[in-house]
Amino acid sequence: MPLPDEHPAHDGITRRRMLYGAAAAGAAALLPVPSAHAAPGRKRKVAVLGGGMSGLAAAHELVERGFDVTVFERKALGGKARSIPVEGTGKGGRKDLPGEHGFRFFPGFYRNVPDSMRRTPFPGNANGVHDNMFPLSSTRISRNGGRSDIIVPELTGPDGGGLDLAVLAETLTGLVEQAGALPPEEIGLFVNRFIVYVTSSEERRLGQWENVTWWDYVQAEGKSEDYRAIVARFLTRGLVAVKEKVASTKTVGAMGQAFLLSGIGLGADGGLARMLNAPTNEAWIDPWVSHLRDRGVRFEVGQTVEALEIASGRVRSVRLVDAAGRRRSAAADWFVSAMPVERARALLSPAVLALDPGLESIKDLHTEWMNGLQFFLRRTPDGIPEEVNFMDSPWQLTAVLQSKLWDRDIPAEYGDGNVLDSLSLDISDWDTPGIVYGKPAKQCSPAQVAEEAWAQMKDHLEDTGRSVLPDDLVHSWFLDPAISWDASAGRNSNAEPLMVNTVGSWAKRPHPRTEIPNLFMAGDYVRTGVDLATMEGANESGRAAVNALLDAADSPAEQVQVWPLYQPPELDGLKEIDARRFQAGQPNLFDTK
């Protein structure tokens, strides 16, 4: 069911098919042709403004439908998903060590991104880049304060053979501790809140839960510390990088439902979660860009979009500036803005807003920080599986151990030959004071960020007396260069923040099709079924922008397939009841708490 105020996809015979059918019958001369349409024999030009996830997805779909596509990118193709080589670290013919904006994690409910990956060739892979993903087989949910961790599902010894009784014992102990940490009434409360959400109609999700914070929805105030840590903080900051006291319940609930359903094989492209078998650029971005170039897409990197130039009620051209300050204009028939929200705001000139005043609400969207930090290691540490969630860390750290994911010989291929492994972190909370300096990450120098993150991991992994991360393990570290330290101000800035879904933010997010006839919006902040700033949401928005462009261009090309989040049909009846109850001003049938 399309959400209210969305532009639903057209079914059956569309206007453009009628027009082209008439043309085939000899009546094309009677049909008005918009001024932006190209002359006969010339491909219509599309300027894609931004080469991140949404821009690459849009370019992919457009070039396959016969458009002449140029992508203008300010910094680097791939956006927040790209690898970032650590310059100067490669020695003896090796490549530079691979840094990341943050490690790549593909939940099973992603379906739009996997489709693009299947259609991107990769040597030796039957399913293209898609075959470079593989299921995450082990994760550790780590607690501090001497509490046992939960390690699932990998219970084998380090050589992969036989049952590791110590790991099994710790996992069982951790499960019992987690179950015992929450009072029965709090467990019942959370189960009730989850049932209320999954049986809520789309009307209630948008009309009620969009305007309620997750903290209030799960009634975290006054509950036990473990309830607040697990149900409120971990399910928001740890999994979807939003803050529980400002995040929309519509968003957090939708992601929780999607994770649960994909875990039991419903609406999923793969298992619960997948990872890449190599650095992101090698496994995905570089092959994608190469494929698009082969199809005819032109990429102009180092070109910052400075302004949309308006004439006759349309976008005539974009003004570009390069690193040397040289300016020029680039004209096109159609324009897809695929830049992140903080950069798209800069294009909202009075001339643009005069044509579409609704775009001004983009300025009210909120961003937070979620950036990567890599520790390059001299040895592979014991006791760390593929992925670790540091549940009680103030900075809400998650990490992956690359040697257990990549099919690469790290010391032979990267760095100076002394780096045997990489522990790649995502820092999801930059506003909570840490345990070493008592300052939030925003107020720590890069060296302090690294020291603090290392200490928070040790606080979880070494709280029972074992040694997992001895300090001599660290060869070097690399912080996402989007983070810039101002020593005089004692603060960091972030050139690549992440849009987060706060209560009521849905109404402020733009549609893919604007009121400007030849301007379309893509990006993880645009309204999509994946109601979260993710690779999947960005990819879906690129597809939606192309579909809107096809409609506006009266193109005969087939619309791009878009996969919505899976909704179990078994719940349709309860949702229909809830829709009637919501319209009548009544609570959800199960909302008794």
Q: Above 60 in pLDDT, residue 166?
A: no
Rounded distance, CA 45 to CA 453, Å? 47
pLDDT of residue 30: 31
pLDDT tens figures, 102-136:
889 899 999 999 999 999 999 999 999 999 999 88
Of 26, 25, 14, 142, the C-alpha closest to 554 is 14
Ranking 198-207, 262-271, 435-444, 535-544 by mean pLDDT, the lowest is 262-271
Contact 46/70 with Cβ under 8 angstroms? yes
**Mean pLDDT, the chain, integer:** 88
pLDDT of residue 136: 87
pLDDT of residue 121: 98
pTM: 0.88
Task: Work out the burial of residue 411: count CB atoms within 10 Å of its CB; fewer than 13 is exposed, 13-18 middle, 19 or more buried.
Answer: middle
Q: Above 50 in pLDDT, residue 439?
A: yes
Q: Above 90 in pLDDT, residue 88?
A: yes
pLDDT tens figures, 349-368:
999 999 999 999 999 999 99
Contacts of residue 290, Cβ cutoff 8 Å, sequence gap at least 6: none
pLDDT of residue 153: 52
What's the pLDDT band for 35 if we cut at 50, 70, 90? very low
Rounded distance, CA 6 to CA 2, Å? 6
Radius of gyration of the chain (CA): 25
Q: Above 70 in pLDDT, residue 576?
A: yes
Rounded distance, CA 252 to CA 428, Å? 15
Q: Nearest 5 degrees, angle CA 244-CA 246-CA 250? A: 80
Q: Above 90 in pLDDT, residue 202?
A: yes
Task: Work out the burial of residue 106: count CB atoms within 10 Å of its CB; fewer than 13 is exposed, 13-18 middle, 19 or more buried.
Answer: buried
pLDDT of residue 168: 46
| pLDDT > 90 fraction of the chain, expressed in percent and rounded | 72
Give me the DSSP letters along 217-278: HTT-TTS-HHHIIIIIIIIIIIHH---TTTBBHHHHHHHHHHHHHHHTTSS-SSSSEEEESS
Give the helix/strand (H/E) hosting 551: helix 535-552
**Three-state SS for 323?**
coil
What's the pLDDT band for 177 if we cut at 50, 70, 90? low
The torsion angles phi and psi of 425, rounded to 5 degrees, stand at -110, 150
pLDDT of residue 238: 65
Contacts of residue 33, Cβ cutoff 8 Å, sequence gap at least 6: none
pLDDT tens figures, 222-232:
999 888 888 88
pLDDT of residue 7: 38
Of 523, 517, 507, 546, the C-alpha closest to 355 is 517
Q: Above 70 in pLDDT, residue 36?
A: no
Q: Above 60 in pLDDT, residue 346?
A: yes
| pLDDT > 70 fraction of the chain, expressed in percent and rounded | 87
The distance from CA 507 to its chain's CA centroid, rounded to whole angstroms, is: 20
pLDDT of residue 290: 98
Of 299, 327, 332, the C-alpha closest to 519 is 332
The torsion angles phi and psi of 149, rounded to 5 degrees, stand at -85, 165
Q: What is the mean pLDDT of residues 382-411?
A: 93
Question: For 492, which DSSP code?
Answer: E
